[in-house]
Structure 1
């Protein structure tokens, strides 16, 4: 009798759970998932610029969504390609294989660009800039899993000014992926991997008159007296635009275009982000995203913020103005989604692929230790040392992403143990000023690292694609120009980024517990009730814990 009683209770509980789950899937499941990646966005921009943000943009997401304040990138290098791939696959470069924007390939003896593919044809252009695909990605993305779960009924579209941002977001099964061809072309393009020709609506958007409308003056959105960044426009830490002697507002973008690679200048102004949002809204409308009972997925990346950060630096008024304009674009986009898709019918997240550091020269002016690293000097010295000792003509094949690729074939032919050579190179590097830490292939592959820089090195290391030696520079030491900000390290200025979830299935709450870039895809999989991407290692974040 007792067993029968507990069995009845169990069946009642299961029935209630199923009814609750079915009801929740019916009433709360999104019609559209929107992923927004802001290229080169530090976490502290949310708090630093908060006073001047509108109520409808970043503030709306921060106050009515799930706001993760302790969100980090858990691998190196912190660059665009690795960032987008990690966000959408739920794993680090050591698994998905995108170990940088480019890397050295031992089989060909050449550098490989992360999305280059000679086997596909350009669409919308005749330029090689259209020969791109996700060929080098090694695991599925969250949208790939969505397509599989819905038998390809879901529509997936990815859009960014940068080809690598668009392609690595969309994964293998995207219905369309568009990126902006700059210079004298000035149009959105794709490749035959996705489509054989551009849709009519893309051709209409690409009309010269329309694209030219974004070549307009860049002036501060608000009075400069209200801006919070402290560096003036007249300093030695900004690059500016060719053809303008001073680095201050306003910038006559139309007249500066000819001396700044024509339409390429759009990528380095807030107008590039505005154009991206306009193109995205057109895609939603023309492709009827979020209009039926099957969930669709739209990814967009705001690339202009990265170009502007590299040009003017994170402390510039130009960078600050860019985020106020991005906030305005974001508010407008959220209103568009409310109207076009419907409030509560879309699930949105916003994050970044990496942060950025203060310009090292600026830090030195503020008495903070910082330096510039001359990679070529170290490579030449190391090559000379190994060449003299082992009589190998070219002992170092490449130094890419702070990884040293040794000429292992030549060392083996001389019957030398590679692990001994790697140890010797590591010992040589550790004695040099300007090098903080050094890891050999054996150390990375054979040791367990649970946290800190060691763990980030391991998660970013791919056994077949990475180098023999990985070295770490001191904080704020960069191999970069003396103007503009750089990124790529595992330090917090490059790794601490925003993460916000908003909309369908999300309850408002601020989280202080650590979360990581690899958690985004796993969380989305849990929310959508679909399988995890193949290589996912991230955790499921508690974005629904307050929902009734």
Structure 2
């Protein structure tokens, strides 16, 4: 009996040891927190261009202490905010996750839709009734969804952005909260898809002396003396848009006067300054504190999308002092965030990745003035020519349901009613459009649907083609072309490198130091995170983890 008892005790000890080992696997063999950072409209060259002026605690810290590549790219086109965030977090392209643009024509619903709109939901946190939002149009899980599934919903996932789509798509379907700033009220809001009411700590941010109002009374001045911004063109130049009430696009930009001159959505102008990024960082830090992120037995996730960089880029374009100042201040935001992570969770327990949802073009008139390839096109004239030509040959009717020259959705019911072949009509439209010199090529939806392309811009558009949501005809521009009259600011959404070349960095828990020029796609980030967390990849992810990070 004593021998049996001894064996039983030994067995109990072994079981206890195994149990403790299993717990250790949960709490020690994985990071406590994953922080995903997306900087909206960040071109890769903003790293090298402003390098000498960055601190050691922001971008440089990530590069000197973690993994970074100078060859990070998008593997699809066009590049826009909604598709960008969706692709980063699903680890796949719009062909599979379905978010093909910020706005697109839904053939299932026979109407134009916004990528995150959801009429079955409502806004939470604003006294003004707004449109409901959700990730329901996303046809894939995200790595954040997979983390929730893997931990039986125990992981806590919080997402924040100035833009609703920048908060919602990283959050995925199972998050504990996705928050953005309301343009009208200046309040932090969310959607009923995630919560029925704001948490107390978020509601408190919307009351009393609000930080957003303090910021809205400031002037945007340069961080450094203005004559030190030698990487940018003159402050007073003809390529920049004006804030309301301004007579010139020059520093300082007085937010109090701007908001007084604005007719509606006044707090939207706070987002068009670097202080929108400051609000985002402060909210993220408050979320770590209040939601106790990184303090649970399983891995948590904090998802941050910095949107002000995009809004400023659209207004002032890459060569401006405003953009340079924004990225110098962005570096400070990262430094502050990383220092808080050091003190609260410990960077050794955190994985941080940083990338962008797309890049951005130089102002087209600026390029023309430098005698670089660029130009303007008359979209209304081109679309009218298409309508007139189709009506003349096939009979009267509204042949184009939705879109511009780079994304034409044809009237399929009309084509079917007239007994015509869709592919033949697509080819006819392409023949009309290619006569305009602004186009390098005109792609047909049926070709993208039925053929495989693995090189050049056709491969990028093929990776974006979704049979339910993508256009029938796609105009591919010959260079940096914009609509006529768009001589101020800039845009994006092409297959060119200025839109597709972005930073990809990672640091923290078990991430080795490696500076490389290896080709990495933004769709490689999600499977890398999933491998670090030892969880399934998202449901539509067909890409591989980044080589050199996993051991």
TM-score, normalised via structure 1 length = 0.93
In the alignment, structure 1 residue 524 sits paired with structure 2 residue 533 = no
Residues 526-545 of structure 1: matches in 2 within 5 Å?
A: 526-544=531-549
Deviation of 1:176 (Å)? 0.5
The CA distance in 2 between the partners of 1:388 and 1:208, in whole Å, is 64
Verify the 8 A CA contact 1:526 1:540 in the aligned structure 2: yes
Higher deviation after alignment, 38-47 or 507-516: 507-516
Verify the 8 A CA contact 1:104 1:400 in the aligned structure 2: no
Look up the match of 1:7: none
Verify the 8 A CA contact 1:312 1:485 in the aligned structure 2: yes
The CA distance in 2 between the partners of 1:370 and 1:435, in whole Å, is 12
After superposition, the C-alpha distances for 1:319-369 in whole angstroms (9 at most, x for unaligned) are: 100011110111011000000111301100000000001000000111112
Verify the 8 A CA contact 2:232 2:324 in the aligned structure 1: no
After superposition, the C-alpha distances for 1:76-105 in whole angstroms (9 at most, x for unaligned) are: 110000000000000000100000001012
The CA distance in 1 between the partners of 2:397 and 2:321, in whole Å, is 49
The CA distance in 1 between the partners of 2:174 and 2:494, in whole Å, is 31
Higher deviation after alignment, 388-397 or 478-487: 478-487
Deviation of 1:375 (Å)? 1.9
Residues 77-116 of structure 1: matches in 2 within 5 Å?
A: 77-116=78-117
* CA RMSD across the alignment: 1.8
In the alignment, structure 1 residue 378 sits paired with structure 2 residue 370 = no
2:510 to 505, 512, 515: 505
Verify the 8 A CA contact 2:27 2:297 in the aligned structure 1: no
1:220 to 185, 199, 222: 222
Higher deviation after alignment, 370-379 or 353-362: 370-379
Deviation of 1:502 (Å)? 0.7
Q: SS at 2:529's partner residue?
A: helix
Q: SS at 2:47's partner residue?
A: helix
Look up the match of 2:519: 514
After superposition, the C-alpha distances for 1:267-312 in whole angstroms (9 at most, x for unaligned) are: 1000000011001111110000001221001101000000000011
Verify the 8 A CA contact 2:219 2:256 in the aligned structure 1: yes
Look up the match of 2:190: 190
Verify the 8 A CA contact 1:422 1:440 in the aligned structure 2: yes
1:256 to 249, 252, 258: 258
After superposition, the C-alpha distances for 1:475-495 in whole angstroms (9 at most, x for unaligned) are: 211237210011000100000
The CA distance in 1 between the partners of 2:131 and 2:295, in whole Å, is 30
After superposition, the C-alpha distances for 1:141-168 in whole angstroms (9 at most, x for unaligned) are: 0000000000000011111000011001
Higher deviation after alignment, 397-406 or 272-281: 397-406
Deviation of 1:235 (Å)? 1.3
The CA distance in 2 between the partners of 1:28 and 1:237, in whole Å, is 52
The CA distance in 2 between the partners of 1:523 and 1:317, in whole Å, is 36
1:477 to 463, 481, 498: 481
Look up the match of 2:206: 206
Deviation of 1:108 (Å)? 4.0
In the alignment, structure 1 residue 170 sits paired with structure 2 residue 171 = yes
Q: SS at 2:353's partner residue?
A: strand
Higher deviation after alignment, 471-480 or 35-44: 471-480
Q: SS at 2:348's partner residue?
A: coil
Deviation of 1:27 (Å)? 4.1
The CA distance in 2 between the partners of 1:169 and 1:163, in whole Å, is 10
Look up the match of 2:491: 486
Verify the 8 A CA contact 1:506 1:543 in the aligned structure 2: no
Residues 297-316 of structure 1: matches in 2 within 5 Å?
A: 297-316=301-320
Deviation of 1:227 (Å)? 1.4
Residues 423-442 of structure 1: matches in 2 within 5 Å?
A: 423-442=427-446
Look up the match of 1:244: 246
Look up the match of 1:30: 31
Residues 385-464 of structure 1: matches in 2 within 5 Å?
A: 385-400=389-404, 402-464=406-468
After superposition, the C-alpha distances for 1:40-82 in whole angstroms (9 at most, x for unaligned) are: 0000000100100011111100111100110001111100000
The CA distance in 1 between the partners of 2:436 and 2:363, in whole Å, is 24
Look up the match of 1:16: none
Residues 48-63 of structure 1: matches in 2 within 5 Å?
A: 48-63=49-64
The CA distance in 2 between the partners of 1:429 and 1:367, in whole Å, is 25
Name stretches of at least 5 consecutive residues in structure 2 with no aligned partner: 1-20
Deviation of 1:130 (Å)? 5.0
Residues 294-373 of structure 1: matches in 2 within 5 Å?
A: 294-373=298-377
Look up the match of 1:47: 48
Alpha-carbon distance change, 507 to 23 in structure 1, aligned in 2, over 3 angstroms? farther
Q: SS at 1:497's partner residue?
A: coil
Deviation of 1:28 (Å)? 5.0
The count of corresponding residues between Structure 1 and Structure 2 is 527
Higher deviation after alignment, 445-454 or 309-318: 445-454
Deviation of 1:433 (Å)? 2.2
Q: SS at 1:62's partner residue?
A: helix
After superposition, the C-alpha distances for 1:197-225 in whole angstroms (9 at most, x for unaligned) are: 11111111122522211121111101122
Name stretches of at least 5 consecutive residues in structure 1 with no aligned partner: 1-19
The CA distance in 2 between the partners of 1:109 and 1:236, in whole Å, is 41
After superposition, the C-alpha distances for 1:436-465 in whole angstroms (9 at most, x for unaligned) are: 111112211222111210100000110111
After superposition, the C-alpha distances for 1:352-390 in whole angstroms (9 at most, x for unaligned) are: 000001000000111112012222221111001101111
Verify the 8 A CA contact 1:119 1:131 in the aligned structure 2: yes
Deviation of 1:402 (Å)? 1.6
The CA distance in 2 between the partners of 1:191 and 1:399, in whole Å, is 28
Verify the 8 A CA contact 1:522 1:539 in the aligned structure 2: yes
Alpha-carbon distance change, 306 to 59 in structure 1, aligned in 2, over 3 angstroms? same
Look up the match of 1:8: none
Q: SS at 2:507's partner residue?
A: strand
Deviation of 1:21 (Å)? 12
